[in-house]
Structure 1
């Protein structure tokens, strides 16, 4: 069926409103990782824009990548980087690093052989989350004996305590090794969308699609920040194309959003016809309901977490970060979840079980 006049006009208007993304110069890009959540999107986007892409990883979890991609195998945990020796790339995108010695060892074979090093960090590098802040805010201090001696095992044993400090030290090592003028630091917040197997956002499209009475956290006014993995991945590739350096909070959306607005954006995209019942923060605390894990995405806008979902993203927006509509992310996430095995769909890794949610709703009504 040919498009209607209204469809044509709407499409044309959207095209005019969309930011202009210039045709890129062709690059030879090395991606350390290339699997995980954002790696495959980076690879596919880069290839679609005419770049030559090489991925380096352990080869244990290969994504479905274009045939043109070159695959190199090694292990940064053991220092096996032989496949990278005596090779030249214009850009290196380092996705998985959490340990400073990974950056140091990569520099031993890549220093002088790449013109730009893009390090994907995290907003967990910040020392505090009690107020809104930009990229100049203080970073979490490392209080261990030797950061270069930290391993994946010690990181895991710390229960997450070392994650932010070691990421911060990895950033510093990147700048020291590759130089400020050639280093780009991207600090994402909550990464969501198809392929995110943590279910930290997926819970909400799945839950709203199921319908009925939904327990929602707080009063709906708490701020929310998140970014679609595709938007993050594509923007990082454009940073490489434009040789953009510096430090950026890589989070969305472009305009401030509350928890209520997030759920209102997800609902129509997944066919929600139920009812939201908001539970006060103190009620949830008393019931042992944890922010972020039991109530995904949500962090109370108070006390030590008052600035968690209010990181300043003006630098990123000025550097070309774009965010697709939340409705698109929600619909695509739900569609992806529905491709997973039934047992996986039945046991999400974040959020409340139906039984626990029902019990909390009953208790809330009886209060």
Structure 2
């Protein structure tokens, strides 16, 4: 169906009223069946991004198989084929003797998982998409650094002996092990590998609350502790934008390595928090507190103040990775307002016990204490 100039203008006006872009509306209208249906294998598939990948792939006419332990509930459509196994103990028999056009590896954090999958799937898949992380980089001090930057190296003797349990016990290994996974992927799927390095993944169904904290906190109103001076850069990616883009990358058989975060402009912490605050009428007041003072108060970046790292020193470039490759490969973004509103709607519908305590963000009582100490210092009193 063609769209007249008059209707295009109307769509643009509607988009403005809803906080959307006419580009996004048109993209949604144009979405349909893929020209060449694919057989897609998703390792995992029941976590945060997996269900979004599954539903989008099915809507595009692809066949979807998910492989996992079956221990996590997921409301996936009946059209999905389920295969069971455990990559921790090498139970991968369900994958043997099968072929797929593309394999998307979502949950892998230890390289022997890639090796074991590679031993079975090498020559059986036409593309291997590995979900990595921007935490693989050895240096986060330089803004606008590209995918060609130096990666972390594993500090131990035998990286293949690391397990998912040991990673959970030592989070400092997350980046080095993901980097080792990437190298293993290139080894087994040479020439057909797509490495996706997301930033902070956000949106409805996020189990970490690392972005959710802010829509929830700003909707509560009152005096809000805000980190830094507001100028520190922030990068996030809505799980739906990431998932849908990865399916399109499979459709186009796009290979290479991509920083997958956003938005497609430089977003400061102030811009993010003001943007989220604008989606409700609670009238929260943002109190910007210096990174130095927060450090003295033992208020930790990223955990107590989610999504934020100081824009100076060793973390100066963490929130400003170069994403030009991903943009050129078709990565698009829904508005921040949409992500914020729909994240809050999702969280508000959760059971009371789940909402009682967020997994990220400073506790309300502690927030009030830090703000009181900050005001005392500003007034010339004792800290």
Identify the residue that residue 138 of structure 1 maps to in structure 2.
Answer: 150
Asked if 2 retains the 8 angstrom alpha-carbon contact of 1:270 and 1:330, the reply is no
Change (3 A) 1:5 1:308: closer
Equivalences for residues 151-300 of structure 1 within 5 A = 151-157=163-169, 159-179=170-190, 181-300=191-310
Question: Which residue matches 2:347?
Answer: 337
Shift of 1:156: 2.4
Q: Which residue of 47, 65, 69 maps to 1:54? A: 65
Structure 1's unaligned 5+ residue stretches are none
Structure 2: distance between partners of 1:226 and 1:139:
21
Query: 1:233–1:9: structure 2 CA closer, same or farther, 3 Å change rule?
Result: closer
CA–CA distance in structure 2, aligned partners of residues 330 and 177 of structure 1:
39
Cα distance in 2 between the residues matched to 1:271 and 1:247: 41
Evaluate the alpha carbon distance shift between residue 183 and residue 9 of structure 1 in structure 2; reply closer, same or farther with a 3 A threshold: closer
> Helix, strand or coil for the counterpart of 2:184?
helix
**Pairwise CA distance, 1:6:** 8.1
Distance 2:343 2:201 in 1: 12
Root mean square deviation of aligned Cα:
1.8
Q: Distance in 1 between matches of 2:234 and 2:10?
A: 32
8 Å CA contact retained: 2:32, 2:60: no
Q: Hey, which bits of structure 1, 4+ residues long, moved more than 3 A?
A: 4-9, 11-23
1:121 maps to 132
User: Following the alignment from structure 2 to structure 1, what is the Cα–Cα distance between the partners of residues 188 and 50?
Assistant: 23
Partner Cα distance (1:5, 1:51) in 2: 31
Q: After TM superposition, give the deviation of residue 149 of structure 1 in Å.
A: 1.3
**Residue matched to 2:88:** 77
For residues 101-160 of structure 1, the C-alpha deviation after alignment (integer angstroms, 9 at most, x for no partner) is 111110111111100000000111111101121000000011211111111222223x21
The 1-side partners of 2:32 and 2:323 are apart by 22
Distance in 1, Cα, partners of 2:263 & 2:23: 20
SS in 1 for 2:263: strand
1-structure distance, mates of 2:39, 2:236: 30
Q: Which deviates further from its counterpart, 20-29 or 248-257?
A: 20-29
Q: Shift in Å at residue 225 of structure 1?
A: 0.3
Partners of 2:181 and 2:11 in 1: how far apart?
Answer: 48
Is contact 1:270–1:334 with CA below 8 Å preserved after alignment? no
Structure 1 partner of 2:325: 315
Change (3 A) 1:318 1:22: farther
SS at structure 2 position matched to 1:243:
coil
Give per-residue Cα distances to partners, 1:274-327, cap 9 Å, x unaligned.
211111111111111000000111100111111111110000000010011000
The answer to whether the Cα contact below 8 Å between 2:63 and 2:80 also exists between their aligned partners in 1 is yes
Deviations 1:189-234 (A, max 9, x none): 1001111111100000000000111111111000000100111111
Question: Pick from 107, 111, 122: which aligns with 2:122?
Answer: 111
Query: What is the count of residue pairs matched by the alignment?
Result: 362
Q: CA deviation at 1:345?
A: 1.0
Distance (whole Å) between structure 2 residues aligned to residue 281 and residue 12 of structure 1: 37
On the 8 A contact 2:32/2:59 being kept in 1, the answer is no
Shift of residue 343, structure 1, vs aligned partner: 2.2
Q: Is the Cα contact below 8 Å between 1:202 and 1:333 reproduced in 2? A: yes
Name the TM-score, length of structure 1 as normaliser.
0.95
**Any idea what SS the aligned residue of 1:143 has?**
coil
Residue 270 of structure 1 and its aligned partner are, at CA, apart by 3.0
Secondary structure of the corresponding residue to residue 233 of structure 1: helix
TM-score normalised according to structure 2 size: 0.91
| SS of 1:270 mapped into structure 2 | coil
